[in-house]
Structure 1
Amino acid sequence: MSSVQHTHAPLVTEQMRAQYRDEGYFILENVLSDTELELLRGGAQFAVDRLDAEMDAKGVDRIGINARGKRYFSAMVYQQRPELRQFLFGDTMAQICRATLGDDAYLFWEQYVLKAGDPDTAFGWHQDSGYVHENHEPYLTCWIALDDVTEENGSVYLLPYSRSGIRSYIKHIPDPRVNDKVCYFGSDPGMPVVVPAGSIAVFSSVVIHRSGPNLTDRMRRVYLAQYSAEVIMSADGSEPWGSFDPFLRDGAVIA
């Protein structure tokens, strides 16, 4: 009696792997299940409330790059909402990490990036590495759309390697008005990522990108999960820079 083996197509194709290597990014559309999407959406309001409470306590409307009622960058939410771990250390992210970083991976950073409807919610051209320091290997950013993303509600715009000519860390200049760090002042508008909810833009931490303002009357919610192949240390080498929960070792999930 013969047996039938069922095989599943890989989430990340060889073409996507090549594009990540050559251009620094690829896009996965509609890859989150409804359960995963609702799980990640569940932490978004918690993220807003936590930052609003911090601003209330300090009597301010801006903390760093956060602006009350406009844009929120709420980090390490999974440490207070441990149910998020089932996604952060699940099969979807394991497949992406293996395809981009290799067989060893750590969760480096995690945050919600939330934009209310306001013309002052754009975010300047930068590399994610520009918010760390110069001495580290490029890491992985997974920009996960929790709502349908359009240019009108604040899409991310990427500059692939072939358009920027940049594949490594470059110096960033602070914008004193909004506290953004900016590294590109050219005329290329970038490639907009217009995707349905449940999609992931996967790109290297040295890919230059920006995001437009949210000009709609609804919140645009994104969940950002970042992974590295090494423990990235602080600039003085005294301590880890981010979270560094072990995720993969020799290709196997150890989280």
Structure 2
Amino acid sequence: MTTLVTEQMREQYETDGYFILERALSDEQLRLLRGGAAYAIEKADREMDAAGVDRLNLNARGKRYFSEMIYKDRPELREFLFSDTMAQICFATLGEQAYLFWEQYVIKAADPEGSAFAWHQDSGYVHEEHKPYLTVWIALDDVTEENGSVYLLPYTRSGIRSYVKHIQDPETNDRVCYFGSDPGLPVVAPAGSIVCFSSVVMHRSGSNLTDRLRRVYLAQYSSEIIMTKDGSRPWGSFEQFPVWSALR
């Protein structure tokens, strides 16, 4: 039913929890997402200015930025999130029903120490009572080990396919779930590439040792509406993705 995601990639997602689509974005899509990244940095800096701080939640001024739900401010991002590209990825990994769960920019400025991110599962930032969801990690710049790319621990290396308990680092606010010696599998890929992985795949990222930004756009989709732990409300977004319609 899809042309973007091959059967081999589907099998790799089941076996290892991830697959990579190199140069999957068009030049127009890349420009659109980079424009959103500039806006995300400006918005985060304004919020830190208003609070009178240089570190707010997971943001650190001039070092790393985690700006979420930017698509609510910029309608063109919403069009991308529900585009044919995303539809094909969702259909291949989640099946016939998908919801947009979360969206954010993850941006690292040049910083040898403060822009690393610890071993975690994306599910570790939610709670244990949900089905694993899909993370779509989109490189807006060429990603290398030098500029702080992501490192994955595939299922076949970690032996883990489910949620594990995380411990919060009091200095960085990172939640950490792995303290072993495996350095992980580095993702080295050109701008416009997409890394698709399960929310229970352990991953980390290094510091940006270059003098340029390393920008990533993150979209997450689930096969169900993920609720807060007490079941009182949806955790994040809950917009249904009409996968079948998008693929016709």
Name the TM tier (shorter chain). over 0.9
1:121-155 per-residue CA deviation (whole Å, 9 max, x = no partner) reads: 00000000000011000000000000000000001
- Relative distance call for 1:241 and 1:9 in structure 2 (3 A) is closer
Q: Distance in 2 between matches of 1:57 and 1:64?
A: 14
Per-residue CA deviation, residues 76-123 of structure 1 (Å, 9 max, x unaligned), is 000000111121000000000000000100100000000000011000
Give the Å deviation of 1:45. 1.0
Match runs of 1:205-224 below 5 Å: 205-224=199-218
**Contact preservation (8 Å) 2:2, 2:92:** no
TM-score for both structures, normalised by structure 2: 0.97
| Residue 72 of structure 1 pairs with residue 65 of structure 2 | yes
SS at match of 1:221: strand
Residue aligning to 2:34: 41
TM-score, scaled to structure 1: 0.95
| Match among 70, 74, 80 for residue 81 of structure 1 | 74
Tell me the amino acid that sits aligned with residue 69 of structure 2. Answer: M
Indicate which of 166, 172, 175 corresponds to 1:178: 172
| Structure 1 consecutive aligned stretches of length 4 or more whose deviation exceeds 2 Å | 251-254
CA offset at residue 9 of structure 1? 7.4
Match of 2:92 among 99, 113, 121: 99
Do the aligned residues in 1 keep the contact of 2:135 with 2:221 (CA within 8 Å)?
yes
Check the 8 A contact 1:103/1:252 in 2, yes or no. Answer: no
Which of 2, 11, 16 aligns to 1:18? It is 11
**Map of 2:184 onto structure 1:** 190
8 A Cα contact 1:78 1:84, kept in partner: yes
Distance 1:45 1:61 in 2: 18
2:43 maps to amino acid: R
Bigger radius of gyration among the two: 1
Query: Where does the alignment leave 5 or more consecutive residues of structure 2 unmatched?
Result: none
The structure 1 residue matched to 2:146, chosen from 143, 152, 155, is: 152
- How far is the alpha carbon of 1:245 from its aligned partner? 1.0
Cα RMSD (Å) of the superposition?
1.2
Which amino acid in 2 is paired with 1:47?
Answer: A
Q: Tell me the SS of whatever aligns to 1:141.
A: strand
Counterpart position of 1:247: 241
Show the 5 A alignment for 1:104-123: 104-119=97-112, 120-123=114-117
Superposed, 1:136-151 pairs within 5 Å as 136-151=130-145
Partners of 2:18 and 2:86 in 1: how far apart? 15
Aligned residue pairs total 246
Consecutive unaligned residues of structure 1, counting only runs of 5 or more, are 1-7
Secondary structure at 1:246's aligned position in 2? strand
Q: Specify which of 219, 225, 234 is matched with residue 219 of structure 2.
A: 225
Deviations 1:45-74 (A, max 9, x none): 110111111111111111111101100000
Q: Secondary structure at the match of 2:195?
A: strand
1:48-59 counterparts in 2 under 5 A? 48-59=41-52
Which SS does the other structure have where 2:189 is aligned? Answer: coil
Find the aligned partners of 1:248 and 1:142 in 2 and give their Cα distance: 17
Aligned match of 1:3: none
